[in-house]
A and B are shown apart, each in its own frame.
Chain A
Amino acid sequence: MQKLTSLMDNCTSGGCGAKIGAGELSELLSGLNVFYDENLLVGFDSSDDAAVYKIDEKNSIVTTADFFPPMVNDPKTFGRIAAVNALSDVYAMGGKPITALNLVCFPQTMDLSVLREILAGGAEKVAEASAVLAGGHSIYDKEPKYGLAVTGIVKNDSVIRNNTPQVGHKLILTKPLGTGIIMAAFRVDEADDAAVSKAVASMERLNRYAAEKMHSFDVSACTDVTGFGLLAHALEMAGDNVSIKLHAGEIPYFTEAFEYASDFLITAAGQRNRNHLHGKANVNNLPFALQELIFDPQTSGGLLICVTPEQSGDLLSAIQTDDPAAKIIGEIIQRESDVILV
């Protein structure tokens, strides 16, 4: 049997672009029984980033799992990105990761040294997160996939939900948008090396540093921007009670991604996200490329943090010391007919 040499050879869509659409997912979940346990502080009924379970009067554990097919050819880079993406959900809940388990799907026909590199990349990021790799599970599969199941801890009064923003609070986005578009362009050989390097560096960047700064500020909500794109994650944040006003000119993005979107290097996942937002956000006044960016599925995207207006400048400055692309991109307003205003 011929050995597969390139990681992306038989993958149809990589990274968070491979996610099942937000609309399909909520339809799917709405048919399932909601478990009730008074200690389950955050479950899947609220579309949050991770589950939070109270273990005693002071502490909760945060649990989450994330895995996907490769979006880059270098196995170690893929391992790093997948691990960073999985760890991110714990940070988005205000938690600190403590243990991680490898989740592996790997083709029988691929060289095992590739898998070793993937795992090495993942382990590197688990170490950077000061968590411990405690085991895992691996199976054969046609397409390679990798990720982590992560357990974190959080103080009960420090849990940060994704859907509790306060009117008047400002929104900070910590990483630029456009990784989905750049990696889609890369798949069809239309991306330049510099753009891919920037996107990879961003996807490999742990949200730990931004999250640690947020703990000393009055934050009302937080989520990480991943496969559903900025607008769908903002929509989840707004919930049923408030609207979100985004300042289009302030949204950070990779300039190459804007160029590629203008050239219609656009993704299926981005269009699914656009369909999901239909009727909830009017984006017609934005340039086409910027529309694509705010629907673009992000692999290992930044945190979207909701903070009091008084503290927003200080938190932004603190985050920018390590993540200079961070920007205040909008604010929470009273509910209007559109959930998201751009």
Chain B
Amino acid sequence: MIIIDVLGKPCPVPVIEAKKALAGHNLSSVIVKVDNIVAVQNLEKMASGLGYVFSYVTNSENSFDVTISKSGDVSAMAQDAESDDVSSGISEVMPGGENRGSGAQKLAVVIGSDTMGSGSDELGKILIKGFLYSLTELPNPPKYVIFFNSGAYLTSEGANTIDDLRKLEEKGSEIMTCGTCINYYGLQEKLAVGKVVNMYEITERLTASDNVVNI
């Protein structure tokens, strides 16, 4: 992990520096120190566009530590870095095992229906609920769980799958629902977990994954 101090540097500098660091070094994560929330938001767009995991800590109105990680493990990294002696510019920090996960296989689970299998819808709904619960029990949860078509109901208010999906999110999975599908079923105001993505982003995630499980 490295720390990139771009306090006082205008966009797109923070995004470029972070992107270069993640591409150029064999790193699993970077911490980017920025001084405004707009830079945080731009870093988030880059991270989400490239399928990285994003989190940030607000130190003060003018100080934010953004952690961007290639793996799902970002727990408390930004806080850990606080204790490190950070000078200006890019400084190498001992990896200390943070590379764990960078070699892990990226798994995407794609769910195109609010039921599992064909036959009884009632049974299918029980099965899909059980499947999502099982995902939360995996030692390495999927990197992406992507919902489309009537699968969009599973991420919307009122679904019995929300708690399991939130648990997956806590474990580092990115939960994504197709925006066209949300609009089609009129669920715009109801998204309860994860974020809305377009087909371009879905395609990008799927092609960047090592394994895809299609339900």
Contact = CB atoms under 8 A, between A and B. Distances in A.
B200 A266 contact: no
A184 B16 CA distance: 11
B38 A264 contact: no
A286 B198 contact: yes
A284 B197 contact: yes
B38 A272 contact: yes
A287 interface: yes
A185 B12 contact: yes
A12 interface: yes
A184 B41 contact: no
B55 to A, nearest CB: 18
Contacts of A185: 12
Contact of A284 (B36, B39, B179): B179
Number of chain A interface residues as a range = 20 to 34
A217 interface: no
A275 B12 contact: no
B13 A188 contact: yes
Contacts of A40: none
A111 interface: no
A305 to B, nearest CB: 29
B198 A284 contact: yes
B9 to A, nearest CB: 9
Contacts of B10: 12-13, 187, 268
What DSSP secondary structure best describes chain B's contact surface? helix
B179 to A, nearest CB: 4
- Report which residue of B36, B39, B45 has the largest number of chain A beta carbons within 10 angstroms of its beta carbon: B45
Interface string B113-125: 0000000000000
B171 interface: no
Given A12-B10, A13-B10, A184-B11, A265 B198 contact: no
A249 to B, nearest CB: 14
Nearest to A184: B12
Interface in B1-58: 10-13, 15-16, 19, 36, 38-39, 41-42, 45-46, 49
B198 A285 contact: yes
Contacts of A12: 10
Interface in B167-215: 179-180, 183, 188, 196-201
B49 A264 contact: yes
A247 to B, nearest CB: 17
A266 B11 contact: yes
Closest A-B pairs by Cβ, 4 of them: A284-B179, A268-B11, A264-B46, A287-B200
Interface of A: 12-13, 184-185, 187-188, 190, 263-268, 271-272, 274-275, 282, 284-288
Given A264-B46, A274-B41, 6 more contacts: A264-B49, A268-B42, A271-B45, A272-B38, A282-B188, A284-B196
